[in-house]
Structure 1
Amino acid sequence: MHNDTRQSQGVARTLSRREPQLHKPKILVVNDHPPSLLALKTMLCNAPLAEEYDVVTASSGPEALRKVLDQQFAVILLDVSMPGMDGFETAEVIHSHPWSATVPIIFITAHYADELNRLRGFQHGAADYLISPVVPEILHAKIAVFIELERKTMQLEQQKQTLALMNRDLQVQQMQELKRMNAALQAEIAERRLAEKRAHDLATKDPLTGLMNRRSLTEQLEHAIVRANRQGEKLAMLFLDMDKFKSINDALGHDAGDELLMQMAARLRGAVRSSDLVARLGGDEFVVLMEGLPSYTAAAEVAKKIIHASSAPFDVAAQSGIRTSVSVGISMFPEDGKTVHDLMRNADLAMYHAKQERRGSIQFFHEELNARLIERRQLEHELQQALENEEFELYYQPKVCVLTGEVVGVEALLRWHHPRLGVLSGGQFMPAATETGQVIQIGQWVISTACAQARRWRDAHDGFPNLPIAVNIAIPQIYADLPKVIYNALRDHDVPPSALQLEITESLVIRDVERATSVLREISESGITIAIDDFGTGYSSLSVLKALPIDILKIDRSFVKDLGKDLGDNAIVEAVVNMARALALRVVAEGVETEEQLAILRELGCDEHQGYLYSRPLPAHALEEQLLHAGV
């Protein structure tokens, strides 16, 4: 103890000779017992070095953690036995944080720690132990050591700052000389890099378009195959050939042909994903390499974008309206080849097949076509079984009045409980049904089922409202005696025409305006409401809309999703609403998901909204529960 006292006095003399610091070191005392906490604080405040440090207290582990995160401490006196988070746990958390990982901790315990407890303490970062009741002289001596350590640390930090300032001054003095010496070196490096880049570009890029050349594409494809094989992913090779390029080149000259190739290259870069690679093999042949594909559909979608981008007129050699297109052949890794040669060859073969079938089209490699044909036949068979096995179900999504919030109708949406693939939405199988003609039978089932549901709701005795049900109509249904199908369904289920609404897409109407107008007029005259669905995505004129016997325009969700963010969409929706008003039509907004969108639609004068903001599509029983619970 006397040695500790002499040590304390010696350290005190040393500290007294030090220059004042910018801030005092701090000691954190942690003890859940108020008298003990006060006693420790009093000892520290009465110590010979008391003026050299500040004392901070905490009565629990969590409080100590908060203070450690807010302040810097020279040493922590930590009681081992505390309720909840004890000293060991507190020490472990303190030392786990980078800010306080090196703070020394002195554990205070009410009994002599055995070897096991000492080991545990040191494992949790203990720097020392004190036995309670604490002897003031021992406490002062131990604290003095850590205070002096903190002082030394602060002094070193100040010295580092001083050296940094001196170094900065030296750097300023030497800067001009360094700049002069570096200028010549930088110029030489820049010239060398430029030369290297030119050499690299000549070796890897097409000089006309700036795209990758065949050599670079081959190298990239080799690396892509290795990555795809290792990660178990798909990649696609899109082989593109411009249609009628030779004729344009011969007619307008080679300079015009080169200009056309450069413009086509720019359009290709704009049509693909940022991660896709575009190359020119030579002539009018291009290749797109796509990695990380989830399915064939992703490759087909990019191919469609390419065809769409290339179909717009070109302005070449002072002549506008030059039209060409691209035919696209697609091979997939690993299904259509596992080597560069096989993938390139098969994509090329598919491209030639596309040209032979129809210019400006997409063709997957033939073996994949066979596989797709088998899959399509299987899907056709499964669709037929779906009707027989009653695997179809209608979900219903409410349509809500914008002003009152009242549910004024529902849209019937087809779902298929597929035995292999789970629940499928109509968009996942109706295209196949349309291609095979099964859409007519399925469409009849939808109309009949919707009428049956309308009858059930009308027969309900729990106050369920008589909501009109809207069903979607496909193109083949127009030509399959649709008025008679609807009449029979209404008659069989004894529901009035007002119970049913038809939704037809804008593109359906403009394909055969005369025939569509005739059929729809017959249906409209029977008292059934007709809506144009996905309005804004087609190209119907005002004269066509005026001639059609329609009652409702449904604004496509693509114009609704950015309301409030895209002023262009706000203007489009406002224009549609104003046009509908002029034609005495109601307006329904699809895909409404936020209150902000609804507020804008209300302000613009939209009549109804439909989307996830109010409800997802639900089975009939779930919709009933939701509406009855809401008191509709």
Structure 2
Amino acid sequence: MANQPLRALIIEDEEDDVALLLRELRKCGYEVDEAHVDTAEALERALQTSSAWQIILSDYTMPSFDGMAALQMVRRYDKDVPFIFVSGTIGEELAVRAVRSGAQDYILKDNLTRLSAAVPRELREAEIHRKQHEAEQHIQYLANYDELTNLPNRNLYQYRLHQLVTQADQDGQRVGLVLIRLDRFHELSSSLGIQSGDKLLRAFAKRLEDTVAHRGFVARLDSDQFAVILTGQTRRDELIAGCISLYHRFSEPVEVSGYALRINPSVGISLFPDDADKPEGLHGNAALAMQKVIRRGGSSHLFYSPELRRLRDERLNLERELSTVTENNGFTLHYQPQIELSSRRIVAAEALIRWHHPEHGSIRPDQFIPIAEETGHILTIGEWVLEQACREANSWPVRHGEQNIRVAVNFSAFQFRQPDMAKSVEALLERLQLPPHRLEIEITETALMQDPDTALPILKRLRDKGVSISLDDFGTGYSSLSHLKRFPVNMLKIDQSFICDIPDDRDSVEITRAIIAMTARLNIDVIAEGVETKQQAEFLGNEGCGLVQGYLFSRPLPANELTKLLASPNPFKQI
């Protein structure tokens, strides 16, 4: 069996004693790679030139050197390397003192056979200590660094942010905090695979480090979020320019696995001391700006402003109140009539939710509906709107010889994600004794395409029961003939963005004309919303658009006013 290699440093002034030590170590089964020294200067050089000594054997008393001094010198370089005194003169009292000072053992020169037990024991102990030390270092690393990118993590980021802000305050300098969220990262990672996703993160992290370099500090805060702390600036305009320059650098394509991937980030920026005088406030403000960018659709940057905090506080208040507003009867429904152009008769009414706040007055749907969708309150609100609209529709008067009008209710994408939605609608209609043909469900193209495989069977089931299906805001989303052929749609609503410029804008005219012609060929009814002038109504009628709604005929009305309007004989005959 081959001897075990051993790197040994021997501190000894007698050549014969060195030879005896080496012979005994070889007898113990070691192939010794050694150096021996006998002065402080030589020991210093040996410790400086190599950190791989596995064991150190030292005489205690030498003419020009002292063993205890040698021990202290060794421990300055390496606290764990085994250090054994081998001496002919050391007494028991000195031996105890030596061990207490950091030596592992002492052996008398006339009993070198003890090396066979002492050396492997101390090597094993040193290996255990080394592994413990590595484990502690790794734990310390994990506590402060991200394993994937080797960037500082959130823990170290918080410490450094506090440190850098404190230092900047003392030096009269500014700090820029840039928070970054990689848009579509999880989508790309799912598409390309986990390994490519990791490569993308490492490539982006490397770009951050290279771009920032000595100008600041970079950290990875979460799976797709990073932070950059820019320092060393005293002028606000230079700091702002530096932040914007960083954003443009982040937005450049990243090369991963042969693909040039463009990940446009959502970036929020906050400046010290302009926006906050404490690290926590600086981070909170940058996060607020970043979240605003994300809600706007991402792929942009935004500097913090006090207006963002005011809007955030209003939003939080709305979130809290949305959870109870349905219970407190805070919502009401208004209805906008839908008119048949040929007869000027009301054939349906679209239910539109209204929230009258006791303190803030009327709150627009475009303010609270997005919040309701994000918080999940939209499901409760949607259930209330559907039931209230159906209940009130049951009380609408019917003129002699005319059919009951439909009630059109807007559904969100969240409602179509509920697997029992069709069953719930059927149960409600049965409970309220409202015929299915009197309900019209409106859903936007965008909402429909979020999960078409789930929505399709729900729509088919409801239409087969007699419920009308209307595709809202047509022309603004995923407009496609293939979608019209695939989905069971009874009616299209031409978006008001096309109607408002008719008949002056040629493009709007041609688009509207094409939609009307297409629906006629597909045997789908069409309704134009946002009709405000007689010229618009005349154009639509001439082109074959059968139904319209808009301010030309009526604004959305409270339920009691709609009831009065329905009781009037042909109120729009003169329009």
TM-score (norm 2): 0.51
Q: Structure 1 residue 617: deviation in Å? A: 0.1
Please tell me whether the aligned partners of residues 410 and 442 of structure 2 are also in contact (alpha carbons under 8 angstroms): yes
Question: Are 2:355 and 1:416 equivalent residues in the alignment?
Answer: yes
Aligned to 1:475: 413
Q: Is the partner of 2:338 in helix, strand or coil?
A: strand
Q: Is the partner of 2:545 in helix, strand or coil?
A: coil
Structure 1 residues 464 and 428: CA distance shift in structure 2, 3 A:
farther
Deviations 1:378-397 (A, max 9, x none): 32332232211212111010
Q: Structure 1 residue 361: deviation in Å? A: 5.7
Aligned to 2:492: 553
Deviations 1:35-81 (A, max 9, x none): xxxxxxxxxxxxxxxxxxxxxxxxxxxxxxxxxxxxxxxxxxxxxxx
Matched residues, percent identical? 37
CA distance in 1, matches of 2:502, 2:345: 22
Decide which of 505, 510, 527 is 1:588's aligned counterpart: 527
Deviations 1:461-501 (A, max 9, x none): 89996110000001111123221221122112111001110
Structure 1 residues 529 and 348: CA distance shift in structure 2, 3 A:
closer
Question: Are 2:370 and 1:431 equivalent residues in the alignment?
Answer: yes
Please tell me whether the aligned partners of residues 414 and 425 of structure 1 are also in contact (alpha carbons under 8 angstroms): no
Deviations 1:402-443 (A, max 9, x none): 222221111010111211221223222111111111111111
Count of residue pairs the alignment pairs up: 346
Q: Structure 1 residue 628: deviation in Å? A: 3.0
Q: Structure 1 residue 541: deviation in Å? A: 2.4
CA distance in 1, matches of 2:484, 2:557: 32
Question: Are 2:387 and 1:448 equivalent residues in the alignment?
Answer: yes
CA distance in 2, matches of 1:595, 1:482: 40
CA distance in 2, matches of 1:622, 1:518: 37
Q: Is the partner of 1:388 in helix, strand or coil?
A: coil
Instruction: Give the letter aligned to residue 474 of structure 1.
Output: S
Q: Is the partner of 1:457 in helix, strand or coil?
A: coil
Instruction: Give the letter aligned to residue 443 of structure 1.
Output: G
Aligned to 1:285: 245
CA distance in 2, matches of 1:467, 1:333: 61
Deviations 1:154-179 (A, max 9, x none): xxxxxxxxxxxxxxxxxxxxxxxxxx
Q: Structure 1 residue 328: deviation in Å? A: 3.3
Provide the aligned C-alpha RMSD in A.
4.8
Q: Structure 1 residue 360: deviation in Å? A: 2.8
Q: For 1:68-467, what aligned pairs fall within 5 Å after superposition?
A: 281-282=241-242, 285=245, 323=262, 325-329=264-268, 337=275, 360=299, 365=304, 375-457=314-396, 466-467=404-405
CA distance in 2, matches of 1:524, 1:356: 36
Instruction: Give the letter aligned to residue 500 of structure 2.
Output: K
> Would you tell me which structure has more helix in proportion to its own residues?
1
Q: Runs of 5+ in structure 2 lacking a partner? A: 1-175, 183-199, 208-236, 254-258
Structure 1 residues 398 and 328: CA distance shift in structure 2, 3 A:
same
Decide which of 458, 477, 483 is 1:538's aligned counterpart: 477
CA distance in 2, matches of 1:526, 1:353: 43
Structure 1 residues 483 and 348: CA distance shift in structure 2, 3 A:
closer
Aligned to 1:224: none
Structure 1 residues 241 and 390: CA distance shift in structure 2, 3 A:
closer
Q: Is the partner of 1:456 in helix, strand or coil?
A: coil
Deviates more, 1:514-523 or 1:359-368: 359-368
Q: Is the partner of 2:513 in helix, strand or coil?
A: helix
Deviates more, 1:597-606 or 1:377-386: 377-386
Q: Is the partner of 2:395 in helix, strand or coil?
A: helix
CA distance in 2, matches of 1:627, 1:553: 24
Q: Runs of 5+ in structure 1 lacking a partner? A: 1-236, 252-276, 288-305, 315-319
